[in-house]
Chains A and B, each alone.
Chain A
Amino acid sequence: MQTAEVVQGVLPTMGRPSLILPTVALASFEGPLDLLLHLVRDGRMDIFNLPISELCDKYLAVIKSYDELNLHLAGEFLVMAATLIEIKSRMLLPKPPSDPPSDDDGSGPDPRMELVQRLLDYAKYQEMSEWMHTVEGERRNVFFRSQSPLAPEFRVPPQFGELSADQLVIAMQRVIDAMGAGERQVTSVRRHRLTVRLTMRILLTRITEAGEKGVDLLDLISEAGNGLLGVIMVFLSLLELLRSGTIAVAQDEFCGEIRAFFIPEPLRIDWTSVTDEESDA
C-alpha cells in the first residue's frame, strides 16, 4: 500500500501529527532530513517533482520559529537550510531543467536530485525502523527464562568471548578439585625449588616433543606435580610462553580440548599482532 503511494510520488505520512505548532513539534525531529520528510509528507508534495521553493520556505519558517524561541539549533539544520537555498537558487538560474529530469534532455542533472535521493533513502530506513518498532513491541509480549541458577558444574557453556571472571574462578576451582588440593587438611611449610623459568623449560620440552599435534592443556596440568603451586606455575609459564610467541594454543571446537603447540622460530609472530580470536582461544 505504501509502495503504491510512493509510486505516485507522495510519501506515506507515517502517522505523524500535522505540523500545526512547528515550534513544539520541532524538538521531536531527528534531524533536518526528518524535518524535511515531514514537510514533504505533511504538504503532500510530490517527492519526484519536489516544489523546492515551497519546501524551502516552509523549512525556513520552522527554523525561524525555532530561532525566535531562542532554542539551541543543531548545526545540521542550518547546513540543510543553506543546501535548500542553494538548490532553490540553482533552480532559478536561466534554462532550468524541465521536470521530471531524464537522461536525454541534455540539461544536466537536476539540482534537487541528490536531496531527493537522500530523502528517499532516509524514508526507506525510517519505514523499516517503524517495522522494527512493531517487532520490538511484539517481542515484549514474550518472556523467557534467564539462565537458571544451577550448580556450577551444570552451567551451560558460555559462548566465545563471554567468559566472566567468575567463570574463570569456577574453572580454576575445577582444576584444584581434580587434583585434590582442597582435601588436604595438614600442611607443612617448606621451600619450593620451583621457578617459572624452570617450569617454562620443562613445558617447552614437553610441548616441542608433542610436535604438530600439541598437548592437551588438561594433561599439562595433571602432569604438573607439586600441588597447587605446580598448577599455578604451569599457568604462569604457559602465559609467558604464549606472550613470547614460542607456543600457541588452539581450541578446535567449542568446549573441546585446548591444545598447546610449539611454534618454530621463523613462524613466530609478535603477540601484539595476534587477533582477539586467537588470544581468546
Chain B
Amino acid sequence: MRSLLGMVEALLFVSGDPLTVKDLVKATEWDEDAVVAALHELQQRYVTSDGGIQCSEVANGWQMTTKPDYAHVVGKLLAPNANRLSKAALEVVTIIAYRQPCTSSDIEAIRGVTSDGVLRTLVERELVADVGRRQTPGRPILYGTTDAFLHYFGLASIDALPPLPDDPDAEVAAATETAVVKAGGLDL
C-alpha cells in the first residue's frame, strides 16, 4: 500500500537537499494541494514522534533535518561547518535582505562605511548574488539574497523575515540613496 505521505517522505529522504512542492508534485503526480497537505501532515507526525528527525519548510522547499534537541550528539559526530558570519557580514546581508535588490552604495549609505570586502565574502558564500544592474550611470551591480541565504538562516522564504522595526520613513528611505528626512518622522 502506498500513501502520498509515504511518497513525500521517501522523496525528501533521498533528496537530502530541499525539494520544492513543484518537484514533489512532479514526482508523485498528485495535485499541489494534496502534496502540501501531506507535507504538513508529515511535519506534524515528526513533531509528535520522539524520533530525531523533523521535516521543515526552508528555502522555498521542504527538507528533512535533525531536530535541534539532538544538536549536541550530532555535533559530536560531524565536524562543525563553516565559520559564522562576522558582525559586518550580518549587517550587510540583513540590509540586502530587506532592501533587495540594492547596490553596494545603498549599503554603504546605510552603514556609513565601505562594504565591498564583506560583500565579496557573501557572494563567495553564495548568500547573496548579482541579480542585475541598476539603470543609472555606471550601471552598478544589484545584489539580492539567494536560496542558500534562506537555507543558511533556516527561513522558509524571504517573506519569513520579520518586518523591520517601525519606521514611518521606510518608503522614503527606500526610494532614495541617502535618507531624506521628513520632519514628521521625528515628531515622536
Contact = CB atoms under 8 A, between A and B. Distances in A.
Interface of A: 2-3, 6-7, 9, 28, 30-34, 48, 74, 76, 80, 100-103, 109-110, 113-114, 116-118, 120-122, 124-129, 131-133, 135-148, 150, 154, 156-157, 159, 254-255
Nearest to A8: B188
B19 to A, nearest CB: 8
The 4 closest A-B pairs by CB, nearest first: A31-B113, A141-B71, A33-B112, A145-B16
B14 to A, nearest CB: 7
28 contacts: A30-B87, A32-B112, A32-B113, A34-B113, A74-B113, A100-B186, A100-B187, A102-B183, A116-B186, A125-B111, A128-B94, A128-B162, A128-B164, A129-B93, A132-B90, A132-B153, A133-B85, A140-B71, A140-B84, A143-B66, A143-B74, A143-B78, A144-B16, A144-B64, A144-B65, A146-B17, A147-B17, A156-B14
Contact of B162 (A76, A114, A131, A137): A131
A139 B15 contact: no
B186 to A, nearest CB: 6
Nearest to A142: B65
A139 B187 contact: no
A30 B114 CA distance: 10
B104 to A, nearest CB: 14
A156 B97 CA distance: 29
Contacts of B19: 156
Contact of B173 (A74, A101, A109, A121): A121
A114 B112 contact: no
B interface, how many residues as a size bin? 35 or more
Contact of A146 (B16, B64, B162): B16
Given A48-B186, A142-B71, A143-B74, A30 B15 contact: no
A257 B58 CA distance: 29
Interface string B94-120: 110110000000000011111000000
A248 B148 CA distance: 31
A136 B63 contact: no
Nearest to B80: A140
Given A76-B114, A132-B94, A121 B179 contact: yes
Contact of A142 (B97, B154, B186): B154
A31 B94 contact: no
A136 B90 contact: yes
A103 B183 contact: yes
B88 interface: yes
A113 B66 CA distance: 49
B14 A30 contact: no
B183 to A, nearest CB: 5
A121 B168 CA distance: 11
Contacts of A31: 111-113
B137 interface: no
A114 B172 CA distance: 13
A100 B187 CA distance: 7
A138 B65 CA distance: 13
Given A109-B181, A122-B110, A135-B154, A144 B68 contact: no
A125 B186 contact: no
B159 interface: no
Contacts of A7: 188
A58 B114 CA distance: 23
A76 B71 contact: no
A6 B68 CA distance: 34
A6 B167 CA distance: 11
A39 B183 CA distance: 24
Contacts of B17: 146-147, 156
B184 interface: yes
A131 B19 CA distance: 26
A85 B46 CA distance: 60
Given A9-B188, A156-B16, 18 more contacts: A2-B165, A30-B91, A32-B113, A76-B112, A110-B186, A113-B186, A117-B179, A118-B179, A128-B94, A128-B161, A132-B97, A136-B90, A139-B153, A139-B154, A140-B84, A142-B65, A147-B17, A156-B19
